[in-house]
Structure 1
Amino acid sequence: MVEQQDLKYAVVGKFSHGMPSIAFLRTAIPKQCSIKAEVNIGVLHNRHVLIRCSFEEDYVNLMSRPNFWIKENSKSFLMRTFKWDIWFTPEEETSMAVIWISFPNLPPNFYVPSILFSIASAVGKPIAIDAATLNKTRPSCARVKVEADLLQEHPQKYNIQIMNREEMETISYKFRYDFLPKYCSTCMLQGHDLQGCWKEHPELQPEKRTNGEDAVVAAAKGKARNPNLPSTNPSRQHPIPTPIATAPNPSQEWTTVTHKRNKQNPQKHPLESMENTTPTAEKLLMRL
């Protein structure tokens, strides 16, 4: 039997796109992930770190969120957390996850940790109860955080026997899963299931373009349309007016059309204007 000394609250942090230095992570993870007690952080693999918590609340906090963004200066690194176990391998992600389950319409007299943990054990290992349930400030619904195996089938209902005045009555209630991550048994990864697996269903994978097609698409997106070219948008196209019909002229191939609208009188030379206004000798004699 392999002992798990100091690994009861061990969490694996996986970085998908780059990872800061371990010296930076040892100070950044406790601050940015709200870890309260002492924690030990070390490199587990080139993209994985092992976070050993000494306090159960810190372990639950790390496992309750799907991911964390670790910020270093202007960069942010995505870190996802998984439960560590003795079967850990870098190529595979565990099927164990921490999830919230709710018990809607459960009577408040059952809001007792021992009873709630007993009901939640049908789904997985109970690890925490939310404050509203403990304080009974939300009597319409109880919530418990459990550690569940995503490969197992999760029940949808549970039964409780209640003693009435004369006889025992069995009442059925529903489980409600706040968020249940998907797991693929082919890829051994969290995030998708067999129905959405590209390995099992290659037709679901988006088509890949060649470099030439990418260049054409990029050029088409970045190239501005020539305003002198006609628009291809039907809403911006305008009908061309029908030309006025003219009588055919067999002798000429082209017909010259002269517009009379806004026609201006031709300008005359100043001498020609003086000839018209200057009186001649004949006109002067006639006046006498």
Structure 2
Amino acid sequence: MKPLTYLHGEPKIVWEEEEIQQMIINEKLQYAAMEKFSYGWPDIQELRRLIPKQCDLKGEVNIGLLSNRYVLIRASLLEDYVNLLSKPQFYITHNYRSYPMRTLKWDPLFDPEEETTTTIAWISFPSLPLNFFGKKTIFSLAAAVERPLQVDMATQNRTR
């Protein structure tokens, strides 16, 4: 239990960044993506069946309703997480209807009333010397923009 403190007579609890990161891991949210349906969607049971197949997810996923238009997908594999975030939109087909589903990165401060400003981007380092192609080096360079997710296959294999 975290100790309660008071600020101007109001109770508050303070968590350190490391504690918040541990909560994210404990709740299996490190590979969490949100899917936004703007124009209707099948019921949640159907989505749990359809999304893994139609989004080509390989590992186990937990799919739950966040709000009236948002679904949370907690992937167990980094590969599935990257797959979800690398495509800005999927189309879920059910009963001869197609439902556009927009993928967003889950954020602990998510508010369904506000549009998210977080997105996924590919970062390119033109003319990068070969001795900088190691994963730790690439991740260190990419961290200048934000937390890197993955190195592409061409870089890993040093083919391009």
TM-score under structure 2 length normalisation:
0.81
- In the other structure, the counterpart of 2:8 is none
Matched, 1:113 2:135: yes
* Cα displacement string for residues 113-153 of structure 1 (whole angstroms, at most 9, x for unaligned residues): 11111111111111101111111111xxxxxxxxxxxxxxx
- In the other structure, the counterpart of 2:87 is 65
Q: What secondary structure, in the 3-state scheme, does the structure 2 residue paired with 1:127 have?
A: coil
- In the other structure, the counterpart of 2:9 is none
In the TM superposition, residue 78 of structure 1 has moved relative to its aligned partner by: 0.6
**Structure 2 counterpart of 1:104, which letter?**
P
Aligned equivalent of 2:100, options 78, 83, 88: 78
- In the other structure, the counterpart of 1:45 is 67
In the TM superposition, residue 42 of structure 1 has moved relative to its aligned partner by: 1.2
Q: What secondary structure, in the 3-state scheme, does the structure 2 residue paired with 1:61 have?
A: helix
Gaps of 5+ in 2: 1-14
- In the other structure, the counterpart of 1:220 is none
Q: How many Å separate the matches in 2 of 1:87 and 1:126?
A: 20
Q: What secondary structure, in the 3-state scheme, does the structure 1 residue paired with 2:108 have?
A: coil
Identity within the alignment, %: 54
User: What is the alpha-carbon root mean square deviation over aligned residues?
Assistant: 1.3
Q: What secondary structure, in the 3-state scheme, does the structure 2 residue paired with 1:97 have?
A: coil
Q: How many Å separate the matches in 2 of 1:87 and 1:71?
A: 30
- In the other structure, the counterpart of 1:99 is 121
Q: How many Å separate the matches in 1 of 2:51 and 2:87?
A: 14
Q: How many Å separate the matches in 2 of 1:13 and 1:33?
A: 11
Q: How does 1:137-156 map to 2 (within 5 A)?
A: 137-138=159-160
- In the other structure, the counterpart of 1:27 is 49
Q: What secondary structure, in the 3-state scheme, does the structure 2 residue paired with 1:57 have?
A: helix
In the TM superposition, residue 46 of structure 1 has moved relative to its aligned partner by: 1.2
Aligned equivalent of 2:109, options 80, 87, 92: 87
Bigger radius of gyration: 1
- In the other structure, the counterpart of 1:12 is 34
- In the other structure, the counterpart of 2:58 is 36
TM-score under structure 1 length normalisation:
0.46
Structure 1 runs (4+) greater than 6 angstroms displaced: none
